[in-house]
Amino acid sequence: MLARFSALIFGLLLNAFGNSLTIVSGFGAGVWTATAINLNHIVDLSVGNIIFIFGIFSIIVNQILIKRIEFIRAVNELIFILFFSRFIDLFTNILIYFKAEELPWYIRIFYRSWA
């Protein structure tokens, strides 16, 4: 159980870091992240907060689609999206603090390629 939980946390951190790299590098992102970035320019919410709102919406739609309320499943999804959205904000802020977006394009492509 501990190994599975450790793998989940490691994967979550790695995925959030990769999403943050795509946000800061400006070389593209996944559909949900790109939507969150665009909404970030319109409303005064961070990308992580917007992704959290998407996650809440996804939990509600998922419960409707399975045609029953599965409380444990909903709570697990809520915990996942809570940590994922916070990690995206954390890593994005760290990369911005170190001015990763100001690096030359060829270096940004390099760190984008290993994300």
> With bands split at pLDDT 50, 70 and 90, how would you rate the model's confidence at 110?
low
In a domain? residue 100: yes
Number of independent structural domains in the chain: 1
Name the CA dihedral angle for 93, 97, 101, 102, rounded to a multiple of 10 degrees.
Answer: 170
Tell me the pLDDT band of 7, cut-offs 50, 70 and 90: very high
2 lies in some domain: no
What one-character-per-residue DSSP string does 69-96 give? --HHHHHHHHHHHHHHHHHHHHHHHHHH
Half-sphere exposure for 114 (CA within 13 Å, toward CB): 4
**pLDDT for position 82:** 95
Q: Tell me: the pLDDT tens digits for 64-78?
A: 999 999 999 999 999
Q: Tell me, yes or no, whether 79 lies in a domain.
A: yes
**Residue 27 domain-assigned (yes or no):** yes
Answer whether residue 92 is part of any domain.
yes
Instruction: Record the pTM.
Output: 0.82
Task: Let me know if residue 1 belongs to a domain.
Answer: no
- Tokens in use for 107? 């270096």
Residue 4 falls inside a structural domain: no
Mean pLDDT (the chain) is 88
Question: How far, in Å, CA of 41 to CA of 48, rounded?
Answer: 13
- Cβ atoms of 54 and 65 within 8 Å: the answer is no
Are 90 and 51 a contacting pair, CB within 8 Å? no
DSSP readout, 12-43? HHHHHHHHHHHHHH-S---HHHHHHHHHHHHS
- Residue 6 belongs to a domain: no
Question: Residue 74 belongs to what domain range?
Answer: 12-113
